Amino acid sequence: MTLADSVREPAPDGAETTAPPRDAALPADPPAPGDAAAALVEADLLVEDVSIDGMCGVY
């Protein structure tokens, strides 16, 4: 079974139809405000700087 086959759905009359392309799919549920905030925080934290000055002796 190919990927194209997997998106085909049999019509009630037996004819074969093809599911709409992904671009035409219904939009997903909008993200909750908390999810958006979490994504924003994650995006801003791709880099985190620290200075190790003064850490001598920690180990």
Q: Which residues bind other proteins (CB under 8 A)?
A: 43-53
Comparison of 4 and 41: residue with beta carbon closer to other proteins: 41
Rounded to a whole number of angstroms, the minimum distance from the CB of residue 11 to other proteins is 36
In the chain, the N- to C-terminal Cα span, in Å, equals 58
User: Half-sphere exposure (CA, 13 Å, Cβ side) for 31?
Assistant: 8
Comparison of 28 and 43: residue with beta carbon closer to other proteins: 43
Residue among 5, 25, 26 at smallest CA distance from 16:
5
Comparison of 9 and 49: residue with beta carbon closer to other proteins: 49
